[in-house]
Structure 1
Amino acid sequence: MRVFEHPTPMDQAEALAISIGNALELAIRVKGWAVLAVSGGRSPVAMFERLRHRHVRWEAVTITLVDERVVPPEHADSNAALVRAHLLREAAASAAFVPLIADAQDAAAPAQAVARANSAFRQPDVVVLGMGEDGHTASLFPDAPELQGALSEPQPGYVITRPSAAPHARITLNLAALLATERVFLSVSGAAKAEVLERALQGPVPSLPVSLVLSRHRHGLDVFKT
């Protein structure tokens, strides 16, 4: 694991975009194609708007989501809507996109959406994660009743979590999928999250789900912080 510190969020976003683009190109050179799974929320927007201009063979890239809120695709909280607005443009418009919630029917029956996602699951080559001040990453929330199953399931794939502190149920990659990813990028911004990161780096504890990724990932994991 490597940790890179950046003076401003814009520097962090630019460095992330360059590193993600390079990781995608490497996967394409090796396999002929690459799968990129990205997180939502507002934090990755600046990175998306830089990544979409990178010289990547986007026609060989499939973009999907690390996690998604169980809402229709047009909902303001949809991660898929965020990706369409900020990443799937300019050069990156030629990438394929696989959302986790296809329509309102999926939002009403998330178990159906998870079953479909798992039946067509392709292990991501590159994953971009964020982290909350409670230590969650992806939608592996410490207070979710489904957390233990998401951490212990040996088969990489998607699961549903229902964190009590969040307004929507989530579909998320499980821990096995995160650990099987060749390149993981974790973005951390601000003093409060930096303190959580320091605690997470002290050792794996389920109360800080991000610590399990940090301690158990055995491929390439880079932390980009401000």
Structure 2
Amino acid sequence: MQNTTQSLVINGQVSRWQVFTAQEALYSSAVRHIEEAAKNAIARYDKFSIVLAGGSTPKSVYQMLPDIDTDWSKWHVYYGDDRCLPPDHEERNSLMAHEAWLKHVAIPSAHIHDIPAERGPVDAAAAYSETLAAVNEFDLVLLGLGEDGHTASLFPGHSWDDSQAAVPVFDAPKPPLERVSVSAGFLSKAREVVFFVTGAGKQEAVDNWRKGVDIPASLIRPKNGVDVYIFGVNL
């Protein structure tokens, strides 16, 4: 069962908050949302571009995606961030998505755009900015929310050059300290953005977000607003 609250406008960001009473319902709704977004984009543009998030909730969603009805050859996959670790490290977002989903479907390898984070934050951010130069607008961006209000690897108290598509991240508040993230400005270049927010540990971040505290998640401001899928957090 799901209840949708009224839309809010917070710091210039339009947000639509959807509360789920079961985590499985959130997963299935997310899968339907992704499937429909892909169907619409492929019909209109003959391709579908999606930005992936890391984390346990996205992983559960990704594990369900091989069963959807879609033309995988039209998909183009990007990442919102990744950790500066070897490509086969278990904490790489790209490895998680590959194991949970991508290796099970027929997306052409040239359409899967991993962040080369193993090259270090500066070189990898420059390389990924070049990759993203071909993107005018994403069809769908998936994001999470950290307990401190961060999203992707954009952390409170950090600054970044929003004119750049991808930015280097140093001194992250939890290891690994070095990362690469797509900037808030570029993540906002999307037809749809969906945040996944699950668990009581996110309560303070959600409260701050809804009160208008300037957290990184509030800086993602696509023209059509953002959808926030919530489970285990009170509004």
TM bin, normalised by shorter chain, reads: 0.7 to 0.9
Does residue 165 of the first structure (1) align with residue 180 of the second (2)? no
Give distance in 2, aligned partners of 1:110 and 1:191. 32
User: The residue matched to 1:93 in structure 2 has which SS?
Assistant: coil
User: The residue matched to 1:116 in structure 2 has which SS?
Assistant: helix
Percentage of pairs with the same residue:
26
Q: Which residue of 2 aligns with 1:4?
A: 18
Q: Which residue of 1 aligns with 2:228?
A: 223
Does residue 187 of the first structure (1) align with residue 196 of the second (2)? yes
Q: Which residue of 1 aligns with 2:38?
A: 24
1:154 alignment partner AA: S
Q: Deviations over 1:51-97 (max 9, x none)?
A: 2221122110111111000111101111110011002144x332531
1:100 alignment partner AA: I
TM-score, length basis structure 1 = 0.86
The CA deviation at 1:220 is 4.2
Q: Deviations over 1:103-137 (max 9, x none)?
A: xxx52443222222111212422110000000000
Does residue 97 of the first structure (1) align with residue 112 of the second (2)? yes
Give distance in 1, aligned partners of 2:206 and 2:222. 15
User: The residue matched to 2:106 in structure 1 has which SS?
Assistant: helix
Q: Flag structure 1 segments of 5+ consecutive residues without an equivalent.
A: none
User: The residue matched to 2:55 in structure 1 has which SS?
Assistant: coil
Give distance in 1, aligned partners of 2:101 and 2:106. 8
Residues paired across the two proteins, number? 211
Q: Which residue of 1 aligns with 2:27?
A: 13
Residues 204, 180 of structure 1: alpha-carbon distance in 2 compared, 3 angstrom cutoff: farther
Q: Deviations over 1:146-199 (max 9, x none)?
A: x3224xx235x1111124422121111101112111100000012231442132
Q: Which moved more, 1:180-189 or 1:22-31?
A: 22-31
TM-score, length basis structure 2 = 0.83
Residues 100, 12 of structure 1: alpha-carbon distance in 2 compared, 3 angstrom cutoff: same
What root-mean-square deviation, in Å, do the aligned CA atoms of Structure 1 and Structure 2 show? 1.8
The CA deviation at 1:221 is 1.6
User: The residue matched to 1:21 in structure 2 has which SS?
Assistant: helix
Give distance in 1, aligned partners of 2:197 and 2:218. 13
